[in-house]
Each structure stands twice: as structure tokens, then as C-alpha cells.
Amino acid sequence: MDKLKSFWRSLGPGLVVGAADDDPAGIAIYAIAGAKFGLSILWTVIATLPFMIIIQRMAGRIGLVSGKGLAGNMKKHYPIWMLLFITVLISVSTVINIGADISAMSAAVKLLVPLPSVIISILLSLIVIGLIIILPYRTIAKYLKWIAIVLFSYVLAVFFISPDWRNVMLNVFIPHITFSKEYLAMIVAIFGTTISPYLFFWQASEAVEEERLHYHDHIHGMIPDIKPHTASRSSVRMKNEIGTMYTDVRMGMIFSNLITFFIMILAASTLFSHGFSEVSSIEEMATILQPLAGHYTNLLFLIGIIASGILAIPVLAGSAAYAIAETIGWKVGLDYTFGKARQFYLILVLATLLGISIPVLGLQPVNILYYTGIIFGAVSPFIIALVIHMANNPKIMGQYTSRLLSNIIAYILLIIMTACIIAMILL
């Protein structure tokens, strides 16, 4: 039991990133993929995992070694036009994603509580914003980890429908690829939402936050056996911190894809199997699921959407706030109070409020969520290339630049993402 508690305490940003990766946008895209292509799309769960682990490890190591987030490092080491280009890309795509997530959450809540969608959207946004501003980082990090556990509702939901597990396993390990525009668009959407650029910014910045937290604990005598945070941390301590971060990231990404796996099975075994390959709203998806899979399965599906949104919105808005505030040179960090990092928190609030405009406009959540994945897929190559370059830049990383195997895997991801986008455009 003590080992289990110690392991749980060791999990941090990596687990939160993995859970936030299964935000309402991700859930909708995985459900649409299962509805359109059945179990044949399951191979993407295995295919994306090594890429997710490597690129998130790179981002986390950049933050841990340099003491700065991605935007902070760009400002110091890269041309200003590149910094502004990447910051605009990540901010705009993140705001769209926030709006899509709020829209999906609102649709899910409306099926449980009969209130107008606009009111639900505003209430959800205000609750999330209020908690982020009021609660200290340590508390936020703790609760985000526990919210992540709610996503196991999708695992439970699948066992209510008893899928054909032999067929499931065959489709996981034997890819079925169709070279059509629709199929390639789905692959781009899956890769885009699974390996989302905003997660790189969050991972790097939260590695910095965690290091500040450990230093705070040292100063207050809570962790007496570590040296104070200095620019010249010992190589032994740095290697230990990197190793702990790697474990956290690996477990977070495995958790993320495990949930993805069960969401796809749920949609494939219900929607696809009964000919419902086209769904245009969360309400329609839930309405179809209830008679096919039962009331409890449908309820678990809706609970998962709501919980994932509560977890993902702080990560999305926080990523945009980190990028913009570091670009301008403002103080950043959830471990600061509102009074000490007012501009950072105002950006976070503004990003969330801008996202509300999407459900207010009455746009269909499922369509917006799907196209959000494609947008992230189109943006990803730029951010992935940047992360690879940073992770191999000795001015940033010193002796902790990426190893050959990590670089090979990261470059393969970059090539796959670029090739899929080009093929999708040309077909």
C-alpha cells in the first residue's frame, strides 16, 4: 500500500496531460472514428503511443533543464517572428478547442439537467475559472489527478456491452488503412487530438512549476534531503528528476491511450455495428447509445465528457496563458497568486471566455470537435519541429540533449504528420 501511495504521489503533469488529452474534443473524435470505421481504426491506439511518449518527454525535459517553458526558450534563443508565429498558432487553436469542449460539456449536462445551453456554458466556465484563480497550484494538481480517474467510466461502459474481444485484438495489431480523403482526414484528426500541440506547452511549463514546488517544500523543511534549486543542480539530481518525469509521462500517455481504446470500442460496437456512422451532435450520439448499450452506459459516456472537460479546460487555457505571458515577458505560473501574476491569470480567463462564443453561436459540438482535431493536426508539424530542435539545442539543454533513438522516433512522427496533411489536401 505504501508503494502504491508513493507511486501515486510521483505522478504529476504527465498523468494530467494524458487525461487532458482525452478531452471532449478527443472523446468526440475517437467516438466518430469508431462510428465511421468500426474496430478497424483501433491500430492508431498502438501507433500513436511511442510518438506521444517521446514528444512529451522532450517537452518536459526542456522545461526541467532550462527552467523555462517553450515560449520562454523561444524568446531567448529564436527569432521573434518564429515566437510570434507559434504563439498565435497555439493561442488561436487552443481557444477554438476550449469553445468546442465547453460546447460538448454543455450538451452533456443539458441531457442530465434541463437548462439552456448558453447558461450551462457560462456556469461551467465561471466554475472552472474561479477554481483556477482561488486554489493554489498544489491543490489544483492534486484534484486534476483525481478527476482523471473518472475517465475510467469508459472502461466500465465497454464491459456493459460485451464486445467481441478476439476481433478487437486482431484490429489493434493488424492495421486496416484506406487511402481516401475521409480516412486520411480522420487519421490527421486522431493524431492531431492525441498529440496536441498545447500539451507540449503545458508539459514544459508544468515541469518548471513542479521544480518550483519542490524548492518551496525544501525551503519550508518539507523535503530536507534535496539541495536548493540552483542553475547548477548536480547531474545525479537532474538525472533523477528526468527519470521521475519520464515515468510520469509514460504512465500518463499509456492511461490516455487506454481510455482512447475503450472509447473507440464503445462507438464501434454500438454506433458502427448498427449502421449509425454519421452523428452530428452529442445529443444524437447519446440518444442512439441509450437503446443500443443501455441507460448506464449512456450515463457513463456523458459523465466522462463532463469530467474530461473540467480537467482539460484549465490545461488548454493554461497553455495559452503560458505561451502569451512568456512571449510578452510577464510573470507566469499557477503557483503564483492572482495578485502576483495578474496578467497571466487574465489571459487564462480571457482564453476561456473567448471559447464560450462557440456554444453561444449555436455551432454543432461534434462537427466543431472533429474539425478542431484536424486544425491541431495541421498545426502540429510546426510545433513538433520546434520541440525537436529545442531538445537538441545545447544552448538550452546543455549535456541533456536528446538521444539518437528519441530523435529518430520524433522525426518519424514529423514525417507522418506532414505526409498525411499533404495527402489529405491533394486527394
Domain CATH for 94:
1.20.1740.10
Q: Report the amino acid identity of residue 183.
A: Y
Q: Is 4 exposed, middle or buried (0-12, 13-18, 19+ CB in 10 A)?
A: exposed
Residue 228 is predicted with a pLDDT of 41
Residue 7 is predicted with a pLDDT of 59
Residue 222 is predicted with a pLDDT of 44
Residue 137 is predicted with a pLDDT of 67
Task: Give the C-alpha separation, 37 to 424, whole Å.
Answer: 17
The number of beta carbons lying within 10 Å of the beta carbon of residue 305 is 30
What are 319's three cell numbers?
A: 497553455
Whether the pTM exceeds 0.95: the reply is no
Q: Are 74 and 385 in contact (CB under 8 A)?
A: no
What are 53's three cell numbers?
A: 511518449
Residue 401 is predicted with a pLDDT of 92
Task: Give the C-alpha separation, 319 to 273, whole Å.
Answer: 38
For 20, half-sphere exposure in the C-beta direction (CA atoms, 13 angstrom radius) is 33
Per-residue three-class SS string for 176-234: CCCCCHHHHHHHHHHHHHHCCHHHHHHHHHHHHHHHHHHHHHHHCCCCCCCCCCCCCCC
- DSSP code string of 130-183: HHHHHS-HHHHHHHHHHHHHGGGHHHHHHHHH---HHHHHHHHHS-----SHHH
Task: Give the C-alpha separation, 62 to 65, whole Å.
Answer: 6
Residue 265 CB partners (closer than 8 Å, separation 6+): 34, 39, 42, 158, 163, 168
Task: Give the C-alpha separation, 397 to 153, whole Å.
Answer: 40
Q: Where are the beta strands (DSSP E) in 257-402?
A: none
Q: Where are the beta strands (DSSP E) in 343-387?
A: none
Q: Are 270 and 161 in contact (CB under 8 A)?
A: yes
Residue 227 is predicted with a pLDDT of 40
Task: Give the C-alpha separation, 320 to 324, whole Å.
Answer: 6
Residue 325 CB partners (closer than 8 Å, separation 6+): 71, 331, 332, 341, 343, 344, 347
Residue 3 CB partners (closer than 8 Å, separation 6+): none
Q: What's the pLDDT tens digit per position in 236-268?
A: 777 788 888 888 888 889 988 999 999 899 888
**The total number of structural domains that make up the chain:** 1
Task: Give the C-alpha separation, 68 to 20, whole Å.
Answer: 22
* Residue percentage of the chain with pLDDT more than 90: 20
The number of beta carbons lying within 10 Å of the beta carbon of residue 15 is 24
The number of beta carbons lying within 10 Å of the beta carbon of residue 179 is 8
Residue 365 is predicted with a pLDDT of 54
Q: Are 253 and 16 in contact (CB under 8 A)?
A: no
Query: Hunting for cell 504521489 — which residue is that?
Result: 9
Query: Hunting for cell 466554475 — which residue is that?
Result: 127
DSSP classification of residue 113: S
Q: Are 13 and 210 in contact (CB under 8 A)?
A: yes
Residue 220 is predicted with a pLDDT of 45
Identify the CA nearest to 194 among candidates 23, 58, 389.
23
What are 39's three cell numbers?
A: 474496430
Range of the domain at 171: 2-426
Identify the CA nearest to 229 among candidates 69, 76, 341, 67.
67
Residue 74 is predicted with a pLDDT of 93
pLDDT along the chain (427 residues), means of 10: 62 73 82 89 92 93 91 92 89 84 83 81 83 76 76 83 88 84 85 85 84 56 42 67 85 90 89 78 72 72 83 85 90 82 89 77 62 77 92 92 93 89 77
